[in-house]
């Protein structure tokens, strides 16, 4: 900001940005406008900042990549608490506000979503059942999906007396199966990664991860251990990675 | 993993509303489309697992989470890539067009912009990119942990530095 007299010092660059962005109080804005009315240098600097911002915005937009149509891949297990209800209610309000300004087809869709969400707030019987979203369980105890990219990571947070068994298969899908076909506890699926978030004490489950040959490398991350990298070459290759404490 | 406060429908609706802009932000921030997808998914995972105590604006919360995740993940990914000596070049996702010359031009532009953004420190980059997404200085300040007043200064610094690295001339602006 300027000094007391408003005359001797030029407007600093941060204030020019605040001025352009409409972030100044009325008093500060009046002081800067007054200075600008007498200072060609500051007017030129303000226009230079505007020009830079505008040119950079154009370049960023030109360089943007198209967002992929990847669906949400988050395992959701709802718990009904007062905080949950408060959150849902707030989110429904946000959806309704968004719906009010949206184009008619979008508004109708948002209205449907908000109605369903409100039903869950009020304990309606249509409340959806917890599921993996929208990674389809191929069969009981298994999750199967197409990974993004050529590198895939399998993360286990801490050693436990169990194993990760990785097998290379034909096709383009990763599948994750727990011991004896049981659901995999604490599994999180990301576009190029699976995480087992619940390391088991005692004897943990074995994890079977089938990886496609389309992947060039599989990173195994176990707690703080060094990264291990597998490179599948032929279908049927199998690696057994013990999770237990190092010997 | 603790239980979620969100059910499938609501989380899906929020994802529909915000994932494109969140992806754009994360892709600009990291310069890596695959990584940006991970950042978006992780932000929604955190929203489902550990939503904030207060029912503040979800959009600002998501961008704040994405910023933290992008900084952490970018660091980890770079380390992992170095350790694994992965051969694949993690350039932004290629978009195959009918005109190879135009595609090459676009790839050059992306490389130029990504390289310039990488010259900014993470906080300045976040500040600049959140401004591009239309956030108020107060929201940006909360996301990067600074004062509202400092945001203007950080934006000015980031713009100046980026303009230099992009070699913008007076005729460009």
- Residues A95 and A34 placed together within one structural domain of the fold: no
> Would you call B17 exposed, middle or buried from its count of C-beta atoms within 10 A (0-12, 13-18, 19+)?
buried
Q: What pLDDT, on a 0 to 100 scale, did the predictor assign at position A233?
A: 86
Place B161 in a pLDDT band, splitting at 50, 70 and 90: very high
pLDDT at residue number A201: 58
pLDDT digits (tens, 9 = 90+) for A127-181: 322 223 334 433 334 677 778 778 899 988 776 777 888 988 888 888 887 766 6
Chain A residues closer than 8 Å to B6 by CB = 76, 78, 84, 87-88, 91
Residues from chain B contacting residue A67 (CB–CB below 8 Å): 19-20, 23-24
SS3 letters across B95-131: CCCCCHHHHHHHHHHHHHHHHHHHCCCHHHHHHHHHH
The answer to whether B163 contacts A56, with C-beta atoms less than 8 Å apart, is: yes
* Domains, in order of start, for chain B: 1-93 (1.10.1740), 94-173 (1.10.10.10)
Asked if the structure places residue A132 within a domain, the reply is no
Same domain, A154 and A188: yes
Bridge-partner residues for A238, per DSSP? A167
Q: Is residue A236 in a domain?
A: yes
Minimum distance, in Å, between the CA of residue A153 and any CA atom of chain B: 10
What percent of chain A is modeled with pLDDT above 90?
26
Mean pLDDT calculated for residue range B60-85: 73
State the pairing for strand pair A193-196/A151-156: parallel
- Let me know: does B73 contact B35? Beta carbons within 8 Å: yes
pLDDT of residue A130: 28
Q: Is residue A6 part of a domain?
A: no
The DSSP element (H or E) to which A133 belongs, if any, is strand A132-133
Give the total number of structural domains in chain A. 3
Instruction: With CB atoms and an 8 Å threshold, state whether B41 touches A64.
Output: no
Residues A168 and A219 grouped into a single domain: yes
Domain limits at A33?
13-63
Contact check, Cβ <8 Å, B88/A216 = yes
- The verdict on A84 and A52 lying in the same domain is no
Test A14 with B137 for CB contact under 8 angstroms. no
Chain A (138-177) residues lying within 8 Å, Cβ to Cβ, of chain B: 148-151, 153
Kindly state whether residue A46 falls inside one of the protein's structural domains. yes
Q: How many CA atoms lie within 13 A of A42 on its CB side?
A: 25
CA B96 to chain centre: 23
Is A238 a member of any domain?
A: yes
- Please state which of the ranges A20-24, A240-244, B24-28 shows the lowest mean pLDDT: A240-244
Task: Mark whether A29 and A90 lie in a shared domain.
Answer: no
> What ipTM was predicted for this assembly?
0.82
A131 found inside a domain: no
Torsional sign, CA A139, A142, A147, A151: negative
Does residue A152 fall inside a structural domain? yes
Pairing of strands A217-222, A228-230: antiparallel
Chain A interface includes B104 (CB < 8 A): no
Shared-domain flag, residues A52 and A88: no
Please tell me the predicted confidence (pLDDT) of residue B104. Answer: 86
| Residue B84, CA distances (Å) to A190, A218, B141 in order | 20, 10, 36
How distant is the Cα of B94 from the closest Cα of chain A, in angstroms?
A: 8
- Residue of A15 and A238 predicted with greater confidence: A15
Query: Is A154 in the same domain as A234?
Result: yes
A7 versus B129: the higher-pLDDT residue is B129
Q: Tokens 């008093």 correspond to what residue?
A: A27
For the stretch A27-62, pLDDT in tens is 999 999 999 999 999 999 999 999 999 999 999 999
Residues A198 and A171 in one domain: yes
Residues A152 and A234 in one domain: yes
A127 assigned to some structural domain: no
* Residue A170 and residue A230 in one domain: yes
Measured between CB atoms, does A214 come within 8 Å of chain B? Answer: no
Distance between CA atoms of residues A140 and A223, nearest Å: 28
Question: Taking a contact as any Cβ pair under 8 Å apart, which residues of chain B between 28 and 47 contact chain A?
Answer: 28, 33-34, 37-38, 41-42, 44-45
Is this structure's pTM higher than 0.90?
Answer: no
Residue A194 and residue A233 in one domain: yes
| Interface contacts (A, B; CB < 8 Å) | 222
> Residue A8: which pLDDT band, with cuts at 50, 70 and 90?
low
Identify whether residues A150 and A205 lie together within a single domain: yes
Residue B78, burial from CB neighbour count under 10 angstroms (0-12, 13-18, 19+): middle
């Amino acid at each position: 900001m300027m000094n007391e007299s408003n005359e001797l010092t030029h407007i600093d660059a941060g204030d020019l940005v605040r001025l352009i962005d409409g972030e100044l109080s009325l008093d500060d804005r009046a002081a800067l406008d007054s200075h600008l009315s007498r200072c060609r240098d500051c007017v030129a600097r303000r226009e230079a900042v505007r020009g830079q911002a505008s040119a950079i915005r154009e370049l960023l937009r030109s360089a943007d990549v198209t967002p992929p149509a990847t669906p949400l891949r988050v395992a959701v297990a709802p718990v009904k608490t007062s905080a949950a209800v408060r959150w849902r209610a707030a989110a429904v309000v946000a959806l309704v506000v968004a719906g009010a300004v949206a184009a008619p087809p979008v508004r109708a869709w948002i209205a449907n979503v908000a109605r369903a969400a409100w039903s869950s707030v009020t304990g309606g019987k249509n409340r959806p059942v917890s599921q993996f979203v929208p990674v389809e369980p191929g069969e009981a105890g298994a999750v199967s999906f197409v990974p993004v990219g050529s590198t895939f990571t399998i993360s286990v947070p801490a050693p436990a007396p169990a194993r990760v068994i990785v097998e290379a298969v034909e096709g383009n899908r990763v599948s994750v199966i727990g011991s004896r076909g049981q659901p995999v506890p604490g599994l999180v699926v990301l576009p190029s990664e699976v995480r087992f978030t619940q390391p088991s004490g005692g004897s943990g489950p074995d994890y079977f991860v089938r990886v496609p040959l389309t992947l060039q490398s599989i990173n195994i991350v176990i707690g703080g251990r060094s990264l291990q990298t597998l490179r599948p070459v032929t279908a049927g290759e199998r690696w057994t990675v013990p999770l237990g404490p190092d010997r | 993993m603790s239980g979620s406060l969100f059910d499938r429908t609501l989380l899906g609706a929020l994802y529909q509303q915000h994932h494109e802009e969140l992806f754009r932000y994360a892709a600009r921030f990291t310069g890596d489309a695959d990584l940006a997808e991970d950042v978006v998914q992780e932000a929604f995972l955190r929203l489902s697992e550990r939503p904030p105590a207060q029912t503040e604006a979800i959009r600002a919360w998501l961008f704040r989470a994405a910023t933290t995740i992008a900084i952490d993940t970018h660091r980890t990914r770079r380390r992992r890539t170095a350790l694994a000596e992965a051969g694949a070049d993690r350039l932004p996702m290629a978009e195959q067009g009918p005109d190879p010359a135009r595609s090459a031009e676009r790839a050059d532009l992306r490389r130029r912009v990504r390289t310039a953004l990488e010259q900014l420190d993470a906080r300045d980059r976040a500040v600049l990119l959140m401004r591009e997404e239309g956030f108020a200085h107060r929201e940006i300040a909360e996301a990067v942990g600074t004062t509202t007043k400092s945001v203007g200064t950080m934006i000015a610094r980031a713009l100046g530095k980026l303009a230099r690295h992009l070699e913008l001339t007076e005729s460009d602006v």
